[in-house]
Amino acid sequence: MSVRISPDKCIACTTCVVHCPVARVTPKYLGPRMIGPAYERFRLLGLAEDESLTYCSNCKNCDITCPQGVQVSSINMLARAEHCKKHGTSMRDWVLAHGELQAKLLQLIPAALKNFGMLNPVTRKVLDMFGIDKRAPLPAFAPKTFRQMARKVEQPSLPRKVVFFPGCFVDVYDPQTGLDMIWAFNRAGYEVITPEKFGCCGLPMIANGFWQDSRRQAKRNLAEIARWRDQGIPVVTGCPSCALTFRQDLPEFFPDLVEKHGPGVLEDAQDFLLDCVDRGELALEDKAPGDLSLIYHAPCHLRAQGNGLPGLKLLQRLKGVSARNADAGCCGISGSYGFKKEKYDIAQEVGSELFHVVRESGADFATSECGTCRVQIQHGSGKKALHPVSILRARLEGRRPA
């Protein structure tokens, strides 16, 4: 595990507290400054952990706003890992942290049967007893995984290649977004490679305290990324949380693995496609009849990377599309955070402003790069939410997004 991150750069300005979406809506969380840098000094003295730590959602708004560059969220996640190591973890948290593994174990069961088994009212009541709120919008399993479907896609033989890291959400629940990615990259002149060796980025495990499991995933993924990097082939992802995990979390938490395999940087797929447009490789000929109005949500983990809003910019390049930024803060879901019984109402309150803005926007669709953000937006606002690249494909093919 990483050495502890020093809290001494914190000047107690409380900027992080002002911008913390969780501290804003509940007194159960003492705020990022108190539970992060301030309480870290008590941890170093060996004092007991404050239970408020469990209410940090790891949204990283504290990191984004800290004027001193203190990685408050990392302090919290390291503390959570130590606490879980000493006191153990719950079955509920194991389930939420290992979605990809569960999908593999259940792969021989038809999706309809899996979804009935997981989402029927009786099962939801049982899950509620185990701590997964029965009101939470659990996503349904897709009939086939993205990687199963990608193997059957007949791509043109193209000299330029790009490797796609789908992430768990696209692979297990939303394969259509992955197929739309392949289509967009093919149109830009790139053949898409989707290696079987890629696994979960490890963020759900980090957030739920399963440190060693995350380390195993990091070792596997960093080695695979290094293989393609050495061949000069870029590796991209459409998921901001996956990208941020490789860019920030893994170097902080597992520096020895990054030193061994090199930086596991995943390029933002939307940023990559935007560059393709600028180079003239991807023509944005909007062929769809009629105009399209969109309301865009910037995921917290995208903003934490500091590379702008490429998904929004890509959509704004389309002539028949009106896309505006909701600019309404965190959606509240934070991966698996909003599924937990004791946190569901907090998550809904955190996302309430965004839900209101989306409902009142009059837009045809909401859009966001993050899969769980889209689930939460649709759950909280009733407005269907799609990935920007899915909307891009529909417009260039001359049809309405579905």
How far is residue 190's CA from residue 163's CA, in Å, rounded to a whole number?
10
The closest of 54, 72, 80 to 15, measured between CA atoms, is: 72
Mean pLDDT across 54-69: 96
pLDDT beyond 70 at 34 = yes
pLDDT band at 2 (very low <50, low <70, confident <90, very high): low
Neighbour-count burial of 130, counting CB atoms closer than 10 A to its CB (0-12 exposed, 13-18 middle, 19+ buried): exposed
pLDDT band at 1 (very low <50, low <70, confident <90, very high): very low
Two tokens, residue 329:
């803060």
Query: Do 372 and 330 form a contact (C-beta atoms < 8 A)?
Result: no
Query: Do 25 and 343 form a contact (C-beta atoms < 8 A)?
Result: no
Residue whose token pair is 């919290």:
76
pLDDT, residue 63, reads 95
Answering whether pTM is above 0.85, one says: yes
Mean pLDDT across 266-275: 97
What angle in degrees, to the nearest 10, is found between the helix axes of 269-278 and 175-187? 20
What tens digit of pLDDT does each residue of 329-384 get? 999 999 999 999 999 999 999 999 999 999 999 999 999 999 999 999 999 999 99
> Among 99-108, 169-178, 210-219, 324-333, which stretch is predicted with the lowest mean pLDDT?
99-108
Q: Where are the domains of the chain?
A: 15-87
Question: Which of 17 and 289 is assigned the larger pLDDT?
Answer: 17
Question: Helical H runs in 169-278?
Answer: 175-187, 203-208, 211-230, 240-244, 250-253, 255-261, 269-278
pLDDT beyond 80 at 395 = yes
How far is residue 246's CA from residue 272's CA, in Å, rounded to a whole number?
17
Query: Do 277 and 317 form a contact (C-beta atoms < 8 A)?
Result: yes
Mean pLDDT across 2-19: 85
What angle in degrees, to the nearest 10, is found between the helix axes of 388-396 and 175-187? 50
pLDDT, residue 197, reads 94
Share of the chain above pLDDT 70, in %: 99
How far is residue 178's CA from residue 200's CA, in Å, rounded to a whole number?
15
Mean pLDDT across 139-146: 95
Q: Residue 82 is inside which H or E element, if any?
A: helix 72-87
Query: Do 193 and 233 form a contact (C-beta atoms < 8 A)?
Result: yes
Share of the chain above pLDDT 90, in %: 90
pLDDT, residue 254, reads 94
Q: Residue 268 is inside which H or E element, if any?
A: strand 267-268
Two tokens, residue 268:
């933002």
What tens digit of pLDDT does each residue of 247-260 get? 999 999 999 999 99
What tens digit of pLDDT does each residue of 73-123 get? 999 999 999 999 999 999 999 999 999 999 988 988 999 999 999 899 999
Q: What is the mean pLDDT of the chain?
A: 95
